[in-house]
Structure 1
């Protein structure tokens, strides 16, 4: 009797345990994705993105058992997807396994016709490629696969639709493809969102505004930043209001409307400090410091730039450093410390070059990944073709006619692949040459722009402080802009890449030119003014005119002839 009673007790406990588990998930069993979306989000937040470890795995096992017991196949796949998400958080080193698991779930959901699991699995795969493996082209391939699928499902059935579109827009913005960034973000704004996703529209509007700002369409940028201010709710008020105010302050700063920019930037700093957004605080404080300097409030500018520097170190980002170093340089120049001025200006240039180098490296990486992806697809096609050929070769023994056909097909395909490979190599070489030319053009433009910016800074500071300053001070400032022999060699290399053979043709046409006259002709080809040439070469404007006169004399140019015409036609 005791044994029978014990067994009955165990059975009752198991039944009670099963019923308790079912009751725990009663509200999400056999419901649509939209109906259980909020509950699933809460489950994910409490299990996946917390440090629960083994307890989280047990919760997922229970969820999957309940789903299987109730024949809820969609919920089974939800549990599988959450398991992959949890594995990614716990076992960060198992990258290959995470990718294979996601691909398997993508195939499974596609076969089952579960669109929302299919989309979410692909989005997680794109996210993994982007952030974990830095394989940007694979991520973009997933995004471009997701986009047409999103058109087939409504936001009522798939609440994440606007979020997915805004993420694609952000990805294009990251790679400075502002046209596509605006296009996808605008599409996200056409999609209705649930209350929990109100911030998604703000994210899309912010991407559009930033894209317009990058393309100097400041009025259009302001329209979207102001829309964010009218779309902030209680939960996201401080975050989005601060971001929008900071961006409006930046557009006002870019227009030179400093009185309008100051209160907006100050409000942005206040909100950023409250929510510990060090990046926003650093960027806004740097702009404020530059404004105070331009308003001739040197002490306030210095205090503010030191505060900005503190938040830069806290945020561990590089983007605000270029302007921060420039402002430090201006402040030290105003205080007469020209050694520090030169040092900060050089640091600003180094930071900008490093950032551009990193961005160019990412662009090149993406281009390389694209080429590898195409090569991979070509290999897959080749493997498939080879299998087909082998299959046909086994059938060659059937008849002599089939043998001749297979031989002809083999030679045709061999010739086709060799021709295509040669064409691919030629195309790759052309792309590489174009990329090198583009990079050299950017570097040369940056070189000449740096000369102009330093020259303008010298003029501004000289004009502002030369009343009480000495001639020696002005000369110290001017030394910043003089092009050294080492810099000239670097400049000449870039110049030759863009204007191929120009200096050789110049020497052939005018073999008696002096080095100074040669440099004059190169700078004239870049349309530098005589004042900029004088600053760059470390000579007076009058000396530049003398050089020009000597060249005209050597060319036997009449008075009515323009030297610029000669420069551009060599």
Structure 2
């Protein structure tokens, strides 16, 4: 509370020079203010002062500020004065709704063009209220939805009337029978701090009070009691007896619903007493409490007290907004009262009237619910269409921008890809050249190793030949001391001492496969069932060795080679004229 008083003092000090200058047509104190500052200057003090002026002076004053705002490039002040013009005409009851709607639509366009979201909200809010007064509820709630959506994007600090607007729209939803939407907005508003404006207390009271009504209708009595007690506390602090009485009456109705009549009666009586002595805009509330009191007293067989409150309600029922509802309650109470007084005929007539009004209320409410559902469906449909249109517009802009980015990106990617492909081609060519050089080097090295290995074996053949010569020489000198069998045995051992061992054969095969890749595998596929000796014979043929070299390497007599050739010819179905070596070369 202390903080609120400080704000008012500061505001008064700020505006004192403004009004002293305003009388001399100087408006510098209004120029180039932020929206929160401008709201404090115009809504709290400027507008009330303008209302005190004669009509012609007020119009001249506001027009002069508009012109000054445009001349100084202050678009926000220009919008504020345009709204003030319309509010002034409305307050003086000089408004033409259709003309006002047209001006507000134009003002909203202007605010959007100049990127003033605060005045986009204000224009949409006033548009919604004018459509509501015109009973064009579809257009009204379409604009209320627009206001709520835009409000959600602005913090309360930059839009001080945020709470006030949310509470007002929530009450529209509540009166229209849409309690869930009203509750969501009220809870959102309840989380916001109070604002400094003429409607500060009204906003805070309405927020908690309507939220309490929703909780009460949901039978959440503890939450409802909390809200109503909060309203009573705030009203007492503000010395607002009207709202304090309303809050006490709402608490009393909760006790009535809980059948705690002794707690309900004093609270309801307090509201009725306040409402009956002070004429205010909340007649519905205290008349409702008076009729509930009458019902309680009838239940307690206190006819005199019941009759007193029935009489009070009957005198003021014409001043209520929901006359049908309260007439139904009134005639129901009068029917019970007359029944208890044994005026059965009169009681029957009042019962009939009560039934008529209650049926009228039901029909009206059903019609309203149906109309609300239809309006809500149409509003949602229209809102979805607008949303889709907005989404399509955004999509077109996105497609355009994406296309530009895409083609520019495509050009950059094309250049990068061309350079990348050129680089990859160069790298691939270098890699192939390197692999070719390495392969040629490896083949050369392997061929040399195979030649060395073969040459080494051939050198052994030379040793064998010399050994044979020595044997022949020794044989001649020993005068035939060696038998033929002994001689053959010695020769066989010599031949066998030069054949390839398994280890040498494996080494030989590795070298051979590196020079003639896949030859042994293709040989097995072409001539299956070859023995190891036949395989070695074919390998020797592939190396173009002569019979003596092959016999030496295989450890057999040269004559044995004919046997291998014969077997291979048979397996290959070769005639005597066909060369075996030529077939081996094709493998």
TM range (shorter): 0.5 to 0.7
Question: 1:531-569 CA deviation, whole Å, 9 max, x = no partner?
Answer: xxxxxxxxxxxxxxxxxxxxxxxxxxxxxxxxxxxxxxx
For 1:493-532, what aligned pairs fall within 5 Å after superposition? none
In 1, the alpha carbon distance for the partners of 2:292 and 2:56 equals 48
In 1, the alpha carbon distance for the partners of 2:186 and 2:386 equals 34
How far did residue 256 of structure 1 move? Answer: 1.0
Correspondent of 1:336 among 331, 342, 364: 342
In 2, the alpha carbon distance for the partners of 1:118 and 1:215 equals 36
Question: 1:464-499 CA deviation, whole Å, 9 max, x = no partner?
Answer: xxxxxxxxxxxxxxxxxxxxxxxxxxxxxxxxxxxx
How far did residue 151 of structure 1 move? Answer: 1.8
Pick closer, same or farther for the CA change 1:380–1:118 going to 2, 3 Å: closer
Report the counterpart of residue 86 of structure 2 in structure 1.
84
For 1:439-478, what aligned pairs fall within 5 Å after superposition? none
In 1, the alpha carbon distance for the partners of 2:334 and 2:26 equals 60
Question: 1:359-406 CA deviation, whole Å, 9 max, x = no partner?
Answer: 33333334444566688799999x9xxxxxxxxxxxxxxxxxxxxxxx
Would you say the 8 A contact 1:285–1:307 is kept in 2?
yes
Would you say the 8 A contact 2:142–2:383 is kept in 1?
no
Correspondent of 1:252 among 255, 263, 288: 255
Correspondent of 2:351 among 345, 353, 360: 345
Question: Normalization by structure 2: what TM-score?
Answer: 0.57
**1:315 and 2:320 aligned:** yes
How far did residue 252 of structure 1 move? Answer: 0.8
Pick closer, same or farther for the CA change 1:350–1:160 going to 2, 3 Å: same
Would you say the 8 A contact 2:141–2:379 is kept in 1?
no
* Secondary structure, counterpart of 2:361 in structure 1: helix
For 1:274-313, what aligned pairs fall within 5 Å after superposition? 274-277=277-280, 278-313=283-318
In 2, the alpha carbon distance for the partners of 1:263 and 1:234 equals 21
Pick closer, same or farther for the CA change 1:258–1:364 going to 2, 3 Å: same
Would you say the 8 A contact 2:294–2:305 is kept in 1?
yes
Would you say the 8 A contact 2:27–2:65 is kept in 1?
yes
**1:263 and 2:269 aligned:** no
- Number of equivalences: 365
* Secondary structure, counterpart of 2:148 in structure 1: helix
Report the counterpart of residue 276 of structure 2 in structure 1.
273
**Structure 1: gaps of 5 or more residues:** 1-17, 384-570
**1:44 and 2:61 aligned:** no
In 1, the alpha carbon distance for the partners of 2:181 and 2:168 equals 12
Question: 1:190-240 CA deviation, whole Å, 9 max, x = no partner?
Answer: 111224424322211111111122222222211211121232365462132
Pick closer, same or farther for the CA change 1:36–1:19 going to 2, 3 Å: closer
Would you say the 8 A contact 1:329–1:340 is kept in 2?
yes
CA RMSD of aligned residues (A): 3.0
**1:355 and 2:357 aligned:** no
In 1, the alpha carbon distance for the partners of 2:294 and 2:349 equals 19
* Secondary structure, counterpart of 1:167 in structure 2: helix
Pick closer, same or farther for the CA change 1:377–1:327 going to 2, 3 Å: closer
In 2, the alpha carbon distance for the partners of 1:149 and 1:111 equals 15
* Secondary structure, counterpart of 2:235 in structure 1: coil
Pick closer, same or farther for the CA change 1:269–1:379 going to 2, 3 Å: closer
Report the counterpart of residue 139 of structure 1 in structure 2.
140
How far did residue 91 of structure 1 move? Answer: 6.6
